[in-house]
Chain A
Amino acid sequence: MSQTPFDPVAQWQQMVSKWEQEINSWSGKLTESEQFSAMMGQATKVQVVAQRAFAEQMETLLKNLNLPSKAQVETLAERLDGLEDSIDRVRLAVEALAGKAAAVPAPAEPRRTKQPPKAPQKAKA
């Protein structure tokens, strides 16, 4: 037996879910074919080549406009990453030294003695 309550929002949501399943299922069948693989291989290649070509064009354009290029920004970002990395290392080293020299000992480690809870005993018949 089925009864349909009056709930347009729920019905809308059901419709969305059904549409999602159908599109995904259709896509799943499409990706099974070898043509799909061939197309994807080509698309990836084109994407990579086009990306490269576009980046080179953009590099020239930005240079002419006297603006920092993507490569320069990336270099800057990497130097920042490198600095962050170095700061982390220095901080870890300082903390290790400070821990050894500290007048106040670091907070105690928790005891490693915990045992798993015992399984409940089965009642004897």
Chain B
Amino acid sequence: MSEAPNQLPAETPSADAIAERVRRDVDRALKRNIKGLDFLTAGRAEVGAMAKDLIHREGTALLYRYRPVVDEIYRLPLLIVSPPSNKGYIFDLAPGQSMVEYLLGRGYDVFNLDWAPPRRDEAHLALTDYVDRFIPDALAKIAEITGEQDVSLAGYCMGGTLATIHASLYPGTGVKNLMLFATPVDFTHMHLFQKWADKRHFDIDEVVDRLGIIPPELMLGAFDLARPANRAAGKMTLWTNMWNDEFVRSYRMFDRWAAETLPVPGEYFREQIKLLMWENALAAGTLEIAGRKADLTNIAIPILNIVAKHDHIVSLEATQPLKELTSTPDYEEIISKGGHVSLVAGPAALRRLWPLIDEWLGKRSV
């Protein structure tokens, strides 16, 4: 082995530098212990930066409107569809860390279709209920309140898939723009879930028939398998940064969001596995919703596809066929640094992604 060229020996720090470093580290160690105790005894992290009103409810489906903060807004309202397995406040974590806050300030009228944990009598809810009932009902309510028939539709993860299926079923109607965050379309590239729910070994019918409502632990186990070191490393990083209030605040919010993963209706889960995961029916063009084909070529509206470079849940390949499979002449893609969650609420999102979204959506919202 050859030696690395031009490598200097470690610089010997001065006594003052060492003293300063020791002082700083002792200070941080003390803060770590004090704040560590606070952390262990603290309640749930507060989330939500912006005032919102529940304007429609249909069992598990909750439609919120964030209160506009400026006098003049764009004509088109924006509806963000949350994934059925997660709470929508990932878009509105805290002041300064909220995409909703940013968009409201930029003059958008923001709505969120969020989900409450389904009750046992909602175990029968299927894909059809989400794309052909909950989303259309939310759009109707938005039209009633705003007087606007047109809307921009956005979705995160499976919320994006639901928005995409809806847009394919209702071409030429009110949805004028489609904005997708980490949205799987070609499920053959959902590698982890393909392995976890391998058709040869995973008895989906038994799981759904026995459980009815699918508990979040079932899916969280798959995430942990993909990144088994994440939890332990996250705790170690937290301890290292315990002196840093900003870091701890952010950690607690993300931790709360992950811990509040929702159960999903069994029938929806069964269809997600059988139709999307096993048959790849959306990308293959064979998905049928209430007797109608969800044909992606029906989608001719502008699409902004936002994907994370290091997403270990929804890979780039799973999201990118949107460009080829839809017939839109107006397709843009943003590949952002970060992972599945930091894509929408991490530091890079705040600095770079949100202004790009504003630039794209503003001119299409008039």
Within 8 A of A (CB), among B68-100: 68, 70-75
- Given contact pairs A27-B228, A28-B226, A78-B120, A1 touches B6 in the complex (Cβ within 8 A): yes
Task: Report whether B237 and A114 are in contact in the complex, using a CB–CB cutoff of 8 Å.
Answer: no
- Given contact pairs A37-B195, A88-B57, A45 touches B203 in the complex (Cβ within 8 A): yes
Task: Report whether A2 and B8 are in contact in the complex, using a CB–CB cutoff of 8 Å.
Answer: yes
Q: Between A and B, how many residue pairs show CB distances below 8 Å?
A: 145
Interface: B33 (CB within 8 A): no
Task: Report whether A110 and B195 are in contact in the complex, using a CB–CB cutoff of 8 Å.
Answer: no
Task: Report whether A16 and B73 are in contact in the complex, using a CB–CB cutoff of 8 Å.
Answer: no
Interface: B258 (CB within 8 A): no
Task: Report whether A27 and B362 are in contact in the complex, using a CB–CB cutoff of 8 Å.
Answer: no
Which residues of A are found within 8 Å of B73, using beta-carbon distances? 110-112, 114
Within 8 A of B (CB), among A91-125: 92, 109-117
**Number of chain B residues whose Cβ lies closer than 8 Å to a Cβ of chain A:** 61
Give the distance to chain A from B358, nearest Cβ to Cβ, in Å. Answer: 9
Range for the number of chain A residues in contact with chain B: 35 or more
Which residues of A are found within 8 Å of B107, using beta-carbon distances? 114
Stretch in B179-187, B206-214, B328-336 touching the partner: B206-214
Interface string of A26-47 (1 = CB under 8 A from B): 0110011010111011101101
Interface: A70 (CB within 8 A): no
CA distance A99 to B187 in the complex (A): 46
- Given contact pairs A41-B201, A89-B57, A110-B72, A52 touches B210 in the complex (Cβ within 8 A): yes
- Given contact pairs A9-B28, A9-B240, A36-B195, A109 touches B202 in the complex (Cβ within 8 A): no
Task: Report whether A116 and B363 are in contact in the complex, using a CB–CB cutoff of 8 Å.
Answer: yes
Which residues of A are found within 8 Å of B230, using beta-carbon distances? 20, 24
- Given contact pairs A81-B119, A92-B56, A110 touches B109 in the complex (Cβ within 8 A): yes
| Set A4, A19, A37, A113: member contacting B72, Cβ < 8 A | A113
CA distance A92 to B13 in the complex (A): 67
Stretch in B17-25, B36-44, B286-294, B341-349 touching the partner: B17-25
Task: Report whether B226 and A31 are in contact in the complex, using a CB–CB cutoff of 8 Å.
Answer: yes
Task: Report whether B54 and A92 are in contact in the complex, using a CB–CB cutoff of 8 Å.
Answer: yes
Interface: B1 (CB within 8 A): no
Which residues of A are found within 8 Å of B225, using beta-carbon distances? 27, 31, 40
- Given contact pairs A3-B10, A52-B210, A110 touches B70 in the complex (Cβ within 8 A): yes
Interface: B255 (CB within 8 A): no
CA distance A115 to B362 in the complex (A): 7
Which residues of A are found within 8 Å of B237, using beta-carbon distances? 13, 16
Within 8 A of A (CB), among B230-269: 230, 232-233, 236-237, 240
User: Chain B: which residue is nearest A115 at the CB level?
Assistant: B366
| Set A6, A28, A36, A74: member contacting B18, Cβ < 8 A | A6
Which residues of B are found within 8 Å of A88, using beta-carbon distances? 54, 57
Interface string of A53-95 (1 = CB under 8 A from B): 0000000000000000000001000100110010011001000
CA distance A93 to B58 in the complex (A): 13
Task: Report whether B13 and A5 are in contact in the complex, using a CB–CB cutoff of 8 Å.
Answer: yes
- Given contact pairs A16-B236, A16-B237, A81-B119, A37 touches B13 in the complex (Cβ within 8 A): no
Give the distance to chain A from B225, nearest Cβ to Cβ, in Å. Answer: 6
Which residues of A are found within 8 Å of B232, using beta-carbon distances? 20
Interface string of B191-231 (1 = CB under 8 A from A): 11001101011110011001100000010000001111110
The contact sample of 17 A-B pairs, CB cut-off 8 A, is A2-B7, A9-B25, A20-B229, A27-B225, A28-B226, A31-B196, A31-B225, A34-B198, A38-B198, A44-B207, A48-B206, A92-B57, A110-B71, A110-B73, A111-B72, A112-B146, A113-B72
A-B contacts besides A37-B200, A115-B366, 18 pairs, CB < 8 Å: A3-B11, A6-B17, A13-B237, A13-B240, A16-B237, A16-B240, A24-B226, A24-B227, A27-B229, A31-B225, A38-B200, A38-B201, A40-B225, A41-B201, A41-B202, A52-B210, A110-B72, A114-B365
